[in-house]
């Protein structure tokens, strides 16, 4: 069944605006940045899980939160996932906000102010897939490729360490406007990770994105992407964090957001990297809601901005969801 067009209210968009990259129409400051504006945004359960398992697409967001995500997609030049997510989810990574000048729908035009329902030109973000070893076996049937072919989204740029990607895939990508971006050296400082690759330095990833003319990127996941970005070395690169928290637990075996602690010091808040607004605030926000969706007493309003959701809202019929925005670097 076709997905109903997503609608995001102007008032909600205005609430988010201070956390979003400057509009390209009104600011030149973003052009002066050497790296793009980075928004980290994802949905978790109360136990900080992104999905039931590494290969399992798990719906945590309801329609309102999903519409918010698509508004965010309309406000960024690029949208980034790791190859684990590309394989697990076969994602579309496009913006599917209703493009209507009627009613309260926000214009998806990144250049217009929230609520101005005039010129509607849907801004599509460029999908960026981090795939150092080229594990993603995309085909012309992959959702993102189909959407690009149909003009409903952009084709992916794949960031890889493989110097010469296979010609057939290169052709497939280029036919719909995508390409490979080869990064010279994965981060030599890091030990080889389990899958036999070294991580890229996030600065190198972001510089490559900026080099393509993109001034803002939203990073959606999955676990490894988020946890490496929120490591001590790179968390300062993140300008904004926007998290949806679903009132459920996914339990052991899930893919968790759990950024590494510093190598020294006790495992308490002082060793969480850097500043309280990402990991620690997320934990507080999660514990602010009981399993049946009620607010716990003595929890400040600033931590959870929940609202009742309709029974039709996806996987969490009787719960609440919250949007938490913060700056992980404490700036």
Ligand X SMILES: NC(=O)C1=CN([C@@H]2O[C@H](COP(=O)(O)OP(=O)(O)OC[C@H]3O[C@@H](n4cnc5c(N)ncnc54)[C@H](O)[C@@H]3O)[C@@H](O)[C@H]2O)C=CC1
Ligand Y SMILES: Nc1nc(O)c(N)c(N[C@@H]2O[C@H](COP(=O)(O)O)[C@@H](O)[C@H]2O)n1
Work out how close the CB of 61 gets to ligand Y at its nearest, in angstroms, rounded to a whole number: 3
Binding mask 64-103 for ligand Y (x = CB under 6 A): -----x-----------x---x---x-xxx----------
* Residue ranges in 46-65 that form contacts with ligand X under rule CB under 6 A: 50-51, 54, 56-58, 60
List the strands of the sheet with 157-160, edge to edge: 179-182, 157-160, 126-130, 78-82, 216-221, 37-44, 240-245, 320-326, 306-308
Nearer to ligand Y, 119 or 150 (CB): 150
What residues contact residue 8 under an 8 Å CB cut-off, 6+ apart? 67, 68, 70, 71, 97, 105, 106
Taking CB under 6 A as the criterion, the residue among 39, 45, 48, 58 binding ligand Y is 58
Q: Which does 91 bind (CB under 5 to 8 A by kind): ligand Y, ligand X, none?
A: ligand Y
Task: Give me the phi and psi of 68, to 5 degrees please.
Answer: -60, -45
Give the separation between CA 65 and CA 121, rounded to whole angstroms: 22
How many residues are recorded in the chain? 331
DSSP class per residue in 61-113: --HHHHHHHHHHHHT-SEEEEEHHHHHHH----S--B---SSTTBPP--TTSP
Buried b (16+ CB within 10 A) or exposed e, 14-23: eebeebbbbb
Among 84, 221, 319, 328, the residue binding ligand Y under the rule CB under 6 A is 221
Q: Positive or negative CA dihedral for 271, 263, 132, 329?
A: positive
Q: State the minimum distance, in angstroms, from the CB of residue 111 to ligand X.
A: 27
| Position among 6, 20, 38, 43 found at the interface with ligand X (CB under 6 A) | 43
Which entry of ligand X, ligand Y, none binds 82, CB below 5 to 8 A by partner kind?
A: ligand X
Q: With binding defined as CB under 6 A, does residue 72 bind ligand X?
A: no
Question: Quick one: which of 37, 157, 200, 256 contacts ligand X (CB under 6 A)?
Answer: 200
Strand (E) or helix (H) holding 307: strand 306-308
- Is 33:256 a contact under the CB 8 Å cutoff? no
Closer by beta carbon to ligand Y, 178 or else 272: 178
| Least CB distance to ligand Y at residue 199 (A) | 19
Q: What is the DSSP letter of 102?
A: S
Taking CB under 6 A as the rule, which mask of x and - marks residues 218-257 in contact with ligand X? --xxxxxx--x--------------------------x--
Residues 6+ away with beta carbon under 8 Å from 266: none
**Interface size with ligand Y, residues (CB under 6 A):** 15
Q: Shortest Cβ distance from residue 22 to ligand X (Å)? A: 25
Q: Tokens in use for 227? A: 């946890």
- Residue 124 binds ligand X (CB under 6 A): no
Beta carbon nearer to ligand Y, 272 or 285: 285
Residues that bind ligand Y (CB under 6 A): 43, 58-61, 69, 81, 85, 89, 91-93, 220-221, 244
Residues that bind ligand X (CB under 6 A): 42-43, 50-51, 54, 56-58, 60, 81-85, 88-89, 130, 132, 195, 197, 199-200, 220-225, 228, 255
């Amino acid at each position: 069944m076709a997905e109903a067009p997503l609608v995001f209210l102007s008032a909600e968009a205005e609430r988010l605006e201070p956390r979003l990259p400057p509009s390209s129409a009104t600011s030149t400051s973003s052009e002066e940045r050497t790296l793009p504006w980075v928004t980290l945004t994802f949905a978790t359960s109360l136990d900080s899980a992104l999905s039931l398992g590494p290969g399992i697409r798990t719906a945590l967001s309801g329609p309102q939160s999903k519409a918010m995500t698509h508004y965010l997609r309309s406000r960024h030049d690029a949208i980034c996932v790791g190859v684990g997510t590309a394989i697990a989810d076969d994602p579309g990574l496009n913006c599917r906000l209703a493009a209507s000048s009627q009613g309260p729908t926000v214009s998806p035009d990144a250049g217009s102010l929230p609520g101005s329902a005039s010129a509607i030109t849907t801004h599509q973000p460029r999908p960026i897939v981090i795939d150092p070893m080229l594990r993603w076996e995309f085909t012309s049937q992959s959702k993102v490729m189909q959407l690009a072919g149909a003009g409903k989204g952009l084709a992916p740029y794949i960031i890889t360490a493989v110097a010469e990607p296979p010609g057939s895939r290169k052709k497939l990508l280029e036919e719909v406007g995508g390409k490979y971006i080869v990064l010279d050296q994965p981060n030599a400082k890091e030990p080889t990770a389990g899958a036999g690759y070294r991580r890229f330095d996030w600065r190198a990833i972001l510089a490559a994105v900026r080099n393509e003319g993109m001034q803002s990127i939203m990073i959606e996941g999955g676990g490894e992407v988020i946890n490496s970005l929120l490591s001590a070395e790179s968390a300062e690169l993140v300008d904004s964090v926007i998290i949806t928290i679903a009132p459920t637990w996914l339990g052991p075996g899930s893919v968790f957001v759990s950024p590494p602690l510093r190598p020294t010091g006790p495992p308490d808040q002082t060793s969480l990297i850097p500043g309280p607004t990402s990991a620690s605030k997320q934990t507080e926000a999660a514990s602010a809601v009981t399993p049946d969706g009620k607010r716990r007493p003595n929890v400040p309003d600033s931590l959870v901005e929940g609202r009742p959701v309709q029974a039709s809202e996806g996987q969490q019929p009787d719960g609440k969801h919250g949007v938490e925005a913060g700056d992980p670097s404490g700036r």
